[in-house]
Structure formats: C-alpha cells, structure tokens
Amino acid sequence: MSIASENMVCVIIGASHAGVNCAFALRREGWKGKIILYDIDKNFPYHRPPLSKTYLTSEEGTEQRLLFPKENYKTDNITLRLGIAVNTIKRKENTISLSDGSSQTYDKLVIATGASPFIPPIQGIDMANNVFPMRTADDAVNIRNTINNSLHKRAVIIGGGYIGLETAASLKKRGAHVTVIEREERVLARVTAAEMSEFFTKLHLRNGVEIHTNKHVISIKRKGNYSVVACDDGTKLNADLIVVGVGITLNTELAQNAGLDIDNGIKVDETTRTNDANIFAIGDCTNHYNPHYKYHLRLESVQNAIEQAKTAAKTICNQKVIYDIIPWFWSDQFDIKLQIIGLSKGYNNIIIRKEGGENSFSIWYFKDDELLAVNAVNFAKAFVLGAKLIKSKQKIDQMKLTDLSIPFKPNSFLA
C-alpha cells in the first residue's frame, strides 16, 4: 500500500515535541491515512522549554504555549488521544494495547516516549512534602502553586544542571529563597567547561541564589508543612519546596518489551528506523549515529526531537533522507542567554573570547585543530558563526580567535 492510501494508519506514541511534529510533518509529506497520537499527559501538547522559565515567573498556563493550535489538529485530521497509556506493542499483530482496554492496529508506528525524571533513592523522599521534578506542565503548576501558597518560600533544588539552574533562577525571580545542592564539584559539570560553570555560579550568587557543591543529600525529613533536607557534610536546610533535577530515565520499557534493540536508548538507523522495518523511534529516547561527530549518542533537546520527527515522516513517506545535524541547545537564566552549538565531548583545548561587557563572551572547544563546539553567552554571533565553522570544518587560526583587536566577522578567524 502506498502512503496515498486512506486506509493506512500511523500510530505515534508520545505527543510532545517529537511526536506532534512528526504528525504534522507526515501530513506535509503526503501521508493520506489516519494519524493517531497517544500520550499519558492530559494537557494539550505544549512547549516544554518554557516550563522552567516563563511559566514559573508568570501566571501563564500551557494553553498559551501550545506546540500547534487546536484547530490545526482538526484541519490536518490528526487524532489526539490524551490521558491514555500504551501498555504493549504486539509486533506480530501490528497492534498496540491501551490502558483503557482497547487496542489499535498500525501500519507504521512511531515511538516518541521520551524520558521521565530520575528520582534518586534518598531516604525519606517518598514521604516528604512538596517534592517535584520539572518535566511536565503539571510539575510546573505544582511548583508554582507551592511557592505561591508558602509563607517562607524556601526552595531547595537538588541538582545543578540546566533544569536545576533554570528553575532556581525563575523561583528567585518569583521571590523565593533558593538553594541549589550539587554533588559534583561544580554546577553544569557534565556539560560545560569549568569556566562556564564558574560564570553561572557567580551569576546565581550575584542574584541571591545559594549554591552548595560537593554535597550529597542523604535524607529528607517531613516536619509539619515543611521538610528538612540533610546533606552528607552535616548541612541541614529547611524546605517548603524541593525540586529534583538530577537527570532522567529513558522511557524505553515499551520498546524493550516488544523486543526492539535497546542500547542507551532505542537503537535507530540514520533514517530513525528501529530493527523493525515498520517501527520508528524519535526524540530523547533514541540512540542514533551522528555523521558529523562520527559516534552514537543520545540527545535531550528540542532540535533533536523536531528534526528526527521530520526525518521519520519523510522516511515513512518513502523519501530518501539521512539524519545529520549539528546539535544546538539554549538556556535562559536571569538576563543571560546561553546558546550552545556542537558537542564538546573529547575536547582538549578551549579558547575564551570576551566581547566588551562582562556578561558577553564565548567559549570555543577544540580537539587539536578541529572546532567541536561553541558556548555563547549573550553573544549570538558566536553561536551562528560557530555553527558555520563546525559544519564546514574550515580550519581556524586559534591565535586570531584570541586576538580581540580582530573584529568578529565570518572570515576573521580562518587559518
């Protein structure tokens, strides 16, 4: 059967950035059959990045930041089934079974199940008051309500990664007393150079956020309407709100139970296809090959979700396409915009360029003479130029890059 057949069914599991973009891309590419999207989340599909940013600092609801307006699902004839879990994938029967007891057959299946927050096994965490991760619209609403209804507004954030720091900045703006606890020796340890960690630490301290590093939370004790967070060095903090941002676990169980290949994510080829020719996987839950960096990886980003969604849609519609991106990310904290292009893994040298103001600079990550990644702080030009230089693999004169008397222009730093 061809994609022009109205009898075909494409089922997509997961209605966030990846799943929803895949549904609309399928229509754009000419899929004439049914498209059915399932998600456990009852909220109409929304943008996730603002959850830790503008949602916490405003009274906005997620309906103000929908991925696509409600009318578009009607005009594109996309069926949304929200609040329903998919229990199993029966590959031999091309069928999925659902939490409401029904089942649905498919011709093509797209798995976009993403990830769930990892809740560390801290003593007492399950009994404590007002402990939330930061992943869904409901999490953001719970966090906001807790701070609104709290007299003392003491927030403890476990984990100094992007989620933790963005949440810290937003809660601080909202008038909370915020403490971040990080077990590594610096915040953002897993993702940036020490210089960037130092910059963000200073930014938060300057804005009144407390940051504790090299500390493990060992227990959380409920005390009436607040909790006491205890660390391994004896530190004790009273918390009206605890936000956990220590990483994720992948939602790969469904795929694994169906016998799909799993290795740090659902294994997909360069077209997002799994080891079953009719099943595709996209977004945070996939492990794929990056042709530019020449290694397999998993990416937790909006760009990856959307671009893999488009690749899956095109492949399903019989177009030849290869997933080949230079990853990019961003983070907004206080008045700072951090933009990242590329993957710094394996770097052995960095160059820091400061452009005038203290809060405007960029870090360039090299492996020998190859530019791997650029982190730009309030300096989008470095992000854009970095993207060009990484993609084109043009050789860079690192001495020129360090010379601030050379104006920042596209060809200024070429060897």
Partner 1 sequence: MAKITFITSDGNSTTVEATSGSVMELGVQNKIKGIDGDCGGVCSCATCHVHVNPAQWDKVGSPLEIENDMLEFDENVSEYSRLSCQIKINEKLDGLVLTVAK
- Give CA–CA dist 311/325, Å, rounded: 11
Least Å distance, CB 380 to partner 1, is 4
> Between residues 238 and 412, which has the closer beta carbon with respect to partner 1?
412
- Reported as half-sphere exposure (CB side, CA atoms, 13 A), residue 90 has a value of 10
Phi, psi of 112 (to 5 degrees): -135, 55
Contacts for 75 with CB less than 8 Å, ≥ 6 apart: none
* 22 token code pair: 């895949």
Least Å distance, CB 396 to partner 1, is 15
Secondary structure of residue 390 in the 3-state scheme? helix
Least Å distance, CB 330 to partner 1, is 4
Among 26, 255, 385, 396, binds partner 1 (CB under 8 A): 385
Q: Are 155 and 266 in contact (CB under 8 A)?
A: no
- Point out which span in 29-37, 211-219, 232-240, 384-392 binds partner 1 (CB under 8 A): 384-392
- Give CA–CA dist 299/284, Å, rounded: 6
Question: 91-120: which residues touch partner 1 (CB under 8 A)?
Answer: none
- Give CA–CA dist 223/151, Å, rounded: 15
- Point out which span in 62-70, 94-102, 134-142, 234-242 binds partner 1 (CB under 8 A): 62-70
Least Å distance, CB 250 to partner 1, is 23
**Site string (288-327) toward partner 1, x via CB under 8 A:** --------------xx--x---------------------
**Site string (8-37) toward partner 1, x via CB under 8 A:** --------------------x---------
Q: Is there binding between residue 47 and partner 1 (CB under 8 A)?
A: yes
> Do strands 336-342 and 217-223 pair parallel, antiparallel, or not at all (unpaired)?
unpaired
Secondary structure of residue 366 in the 3-state scheme? strand
> Between residues 266 and 341, which has the closer beta carbon with respect to partner 1?
341
> Between residues 289 and 330, which has the closer beta carbon with respect to partner 1?
330
- Give CA–CA dist 25/351, Å, rounded: 40
> Between residues 31 and 226, which has the closer beta carbon with respect to partner 1?
31
> Between residues 278 and 412, which has the closer beta carbon with respect to partner 1?
412
Q: Is there binding between residue 69 and partner 1 (CB under 8 A)?
A: yes
Contacts for 319 with CB less than 8 Å, ≥ 6 apart: 29
Among 34, 247, 330, 359, binds partner 1 (CB under 8 A): 330
Least Å distance, CB 299 to partner 1, is 14
> Between residues 98 and 406, which has the closer beta carbon with respect to partner 1?
406
Least Å distance, CB 199 to partner 1, is 18
Q: Is there binding between residue 328 and partner 1 (CB under 8 A)?
A: yes
Dihedral sign (CA 289, 290, 296, 299): negative
**Site string (342-381) toward partner 1, x via CB under 8 A:** ------------------------------------xxxx
Least Å distance, CB 388 to partner 1, is 7
> Between residues 236 and 388, which has the closer beta carbon with respect to partner 1?
388
Phi, psi of 296 (to 5 degrees): -80, 145
- Give CA–CA dist 17/303, Å, rounded: 9
Q: Is there binding between residue 65 and partner 1 (CB under 8 A)?
A: yes
DSSP letters, 93-137, are TTEEEETTS-EEE-SEEEE---EEE-----BTTTT-SSEEESSSH
Least Å distance, CB 17 to partner 1, is 9
- In 118-240, which ranges are E strands? 131-133, 154-158, 177-181, 210-212, 217-223, 226-231, 236-239
How many other C-beta atoms lie within 10 A of the C-beta of residue 73? 20
DSSP letters, 8-38, are -EEEEE--SHHHHHHHHHHHHTT--SEEEEE
Site residues (vs partner 1, CB under 8 A): 28, 47, 49-50, 65, 68-69, 71-72, 302-303, 306, 328, 330, 332, 337, 339, 378-381, 383-385, 388, 410
